[in-house]
């Protein structure tokens, strides 16, 4: 394969003078506020040095795993016992065949930005890249925290269960870690009662963490509030929830009785599960409002669809997809139940199904009441939608049915410390979209004004929205 020019150039994705000026003069140098990801707090707090690029880049990356399986790569080289070098060689041989998938751009952008390597990754360059990157990863400044500092990351918010000890967050806080690392409260397991035995085990673990025995629904809510206080002491100001759709208010279901039933080890019906979820989530959202937290809702994922491989590899290994759940009515009713008593916290709504973009964009506008700029947000393109078309579709829906000027911008939603050039990817696309419309006469050719909006979307809106001013 002959490649006379590197893929990632200075003006990558920037097609006219306006987009280039917007990116280079206004967006490119801004720090990163990554308010939702799945990074390891331990790795960040201890500034873990990865032994190879395989450990830093391939381990836990479902995007790469799915591509490798599609190309016929044996699981031995994906999650199996192959050596780091063998796994990297297999991935490198796959890369040329990921063209038009975001992995192709991300791969070369990340190799360039972190390691200064500007060629094309393939089976012929695999050994060179492996040796080059592994040598760099052993250098000072290339640990987990150092990799983020290289990308000018100021704040990262990890995703943490209420029962987590927060040990690594406490250590990072005591050591004034840069970037600042904050926990985000993710209580999904607090209502995951479909299987009684794992749920009872989780309640016991949560009880230990909160210092109380959990036997009733009231006990559970008090334990969760206790853990929220512990999270707040570590700087938490954000919650997050992953749901197929928002639950509906219980109809002829007693949530307290449903909880007692499952606590005793008996299965509950789908209606009882939904009523229990609704009750717990609604009470938590009232607490978020009282504490001044932001609440995030990631809606629409259909998870663990491959039962054979789920049994072999476990969850979160690359077998989730976009779901087609109805969203509008239950989402509106849930938000309205909070707004009716003036207990609706700042809220970010994400849809995994882009067919619902316009629904979510208009839903956010229903609950903006003029008291806070952009109080309810239609969140960025998420998971399968954080590629060029998906991000553009989300930006267009928000622009046309809401106000893009109030948007809080991009996040990584990633488990990889090498994923932060995704912010650059988003920023370049954003500048290209605005610059194209300036070039066509659809927006004023006032780069200072438009540049100010770009800067807000990329950094300042999120800084104000999440209250990060005290951290930076």
d(CA 417, CA 60) in angstroms, rounded, equals: 11
Q: Contact, 409 vs 457, CB < 8 A?
A: yes
Domain CATH code at residue 78: 1.10.2020.10
CB atoms within 10 A of CB 443: 17
Pick from 410, 393, 414, 388: nearest CA to 456: 410
Stated length of the chain: 472
Burial per residue of 204-233, b for 16 or more beta-carbon CB atoms within 10 angstroms, e otherwise: ebbbebbeeebeebebbbebbbbbbebbee
pLDDT at 130: 98
Q: Contact, 231 vs 165, CB < 8 A?
A: no
Q: What is the DSSP code (8-state) at residue 369?
A: -
pLDDT at 5: 83
Q: Contact, 351 vs 357, CB < 8 A?
A: yes
pLDDT at 432: 98
Whether residue 351 is contained in a domain is answered as no
Whether residue 104 is contained in a domain is answered as yes
pLDDT at 316: 87
Torsion of CA 114, 456, 22, 98, to 10 degrees: 40
| 3-state DSSP assignment of residue 157 | strand
Q: Contact, 125 vs 119, CB < 8 A?
A: yes
- Which secondary-structure segment (H or E) carries 376? strand 376-378
Whether residue 114 is contained in a domain is answered as yes
Torsion of CA 301, 302, 308, 313, to 10 degrees: 10
Whether residue 423 is contained in a domain is answered as no
Q: Contact, 226 vs 309, CB < 8 A?
A: no
Six-digit token string for 325: 């759940």
d(CA 251, CA 271) in angstroms, rounded, equals: 8
Residues contacting 101, CB < 8 A, separation 6+:
67, 387
pLDDT at 2: 56
Q: Is the dihedral of CA 215, 216, 218, 220 positive or negative?
A: positive
Domain ranges, residue 62: 49-142
Whether residue 66 is contained in a domain is answered as yes
Whether residue 210 is contained in a domain is answered as no
Whether residue 97 is contained in a domain is answered as yes
Whether residue 138 is contained in a domain is answered as yes
Three-state secondary structure readout of 132-155 = HHHHHHCCCCCCHHHHHHHCCEEE
Query: What pTM value is reported for the model?
Result: 0.96
DSSP string for 19-60: HHHHIIIIITT--EEE-S----HHHHHTTPPPSSHIIIIITT
How many separate domains does the chain show?
1
pLDDT per residue of the chain (472 residues) written in tens, 0 to 9: 455 688 999 999 999 999 999 999 999 999 999 999 999 999 999 999 999 999 999 998 999 999 999 999 999 999 999 999 999 999 999 999 999 999 999 999 999 999 999 999 999 999 999 999 999 999 999 999 999 999 999 999 999 999 999 999 999 999 999 999 999 999 999 999 999 999 999 999 999 999 999 999 999 999 999 999 999 999 999 999 999 999 999 988 999 999 999 999 999 999 999 999 999 999 999 999 999 999 999 999 999 999 999 899 998 899 999 999 999 999 999 999 999 999 999 999 999 999 999 999 999 999 999 999 999 999 999 999 999 999 999 999 999 999 999 999 999 999 999 999 999 999 999 999 999 999 999 999 999 999 999 999 999 999 999 999 988 6
């Amino acid at each position: 394969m002959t490649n006379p020019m590197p893929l990632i150039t200075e003006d990558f994705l920037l097609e006219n003078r306006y987009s280039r000026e917007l990116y280079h003069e206004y967006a490119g140098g801004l720090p990163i506020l990554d308010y939702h990801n799945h990074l390891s707090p331990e790795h960040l707090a201890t500034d873990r040095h990865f032994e190879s690029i395989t450990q830093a880049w391939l381990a836990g990356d479902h995007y790469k795993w799915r591509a490798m399986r599609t190309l016929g790569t044996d699981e031995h080289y994906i999650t199996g016992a192959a050596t780091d070098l063998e796994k990297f060689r297999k991935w490198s041989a796959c890369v040329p065949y990921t063209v038009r998938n975001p992995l192709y751009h991300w791969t070369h952008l990340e190799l360039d930005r972190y390691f200064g390597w500007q060629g094309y990754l393939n089976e012929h360059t695999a050994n060179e890249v492996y040796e080059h990157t592994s040598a760099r990863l052993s250098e000072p400044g290339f640990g987990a925290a150092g990799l983020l500092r290289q990308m000018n990351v100021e704040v990262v918010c990890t995703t943490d269960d209420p029962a987590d000890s927060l040990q690594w967050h406490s250590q990072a806080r005591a050591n004034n870690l840069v970037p600042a690392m904050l926990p985000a409260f993710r209580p999904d397991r607090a209502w995951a009662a479909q299987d009684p035995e794992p749920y009872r085990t989780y309640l016991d673990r949560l009880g230990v963490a909160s210092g109380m025995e959990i036997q009733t629904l009231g006990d559970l809510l008090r334990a969760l509030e206790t853990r929220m206080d512990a999270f707040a002491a570590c700087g938490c100001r954000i919650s997050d929830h992953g749901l197929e759709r928002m639950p509906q208010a219980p109809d002829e279901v007693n949530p307290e009785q449903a909880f007692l039933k499952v606590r005793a080890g008996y299965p509950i019906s789908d209606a009882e599960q939904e009523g229990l979820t609704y009750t717990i989530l609604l009470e938590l959202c009232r607490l978020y409002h009282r504490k001044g937290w932001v609440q995030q809702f990631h809606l629409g994922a259909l998870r663990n669809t491959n039962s054979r491989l789920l049994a072999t590899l476990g969850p979160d290994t690359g077998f989730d997809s976009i779901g087609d759940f109805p969203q509008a009515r239950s989402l509106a009713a849930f938000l309205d139940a909070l707004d009716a008593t003036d207990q609706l916290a700042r809220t970010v709504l994400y849809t995994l199904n882009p067919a619902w973009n316009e629904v979510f964009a208009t839903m956010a506008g229903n609950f903006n009441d003029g008291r806070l700029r952009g109080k309810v947000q239609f969140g960025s393109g998420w998971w399968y939608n954080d590629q060029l078309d998906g991000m553009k579709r989300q930006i267009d829906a928000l622009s046309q049915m809401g106000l893009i000027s109030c948007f809080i911008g991009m996040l990584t939603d990633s488990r990889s410390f090498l994923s932060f050039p995704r912010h650059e990817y988003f920023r370049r696309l954003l500048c290209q979209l605005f610059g194209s419309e300036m070039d066509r006469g659809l927006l004023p050719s006032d780069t200072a004004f438009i540049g100010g909006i770009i800067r807000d979307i990329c950094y300042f809106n999120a800084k104000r929205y999440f209250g990060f001013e005290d951290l930076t």
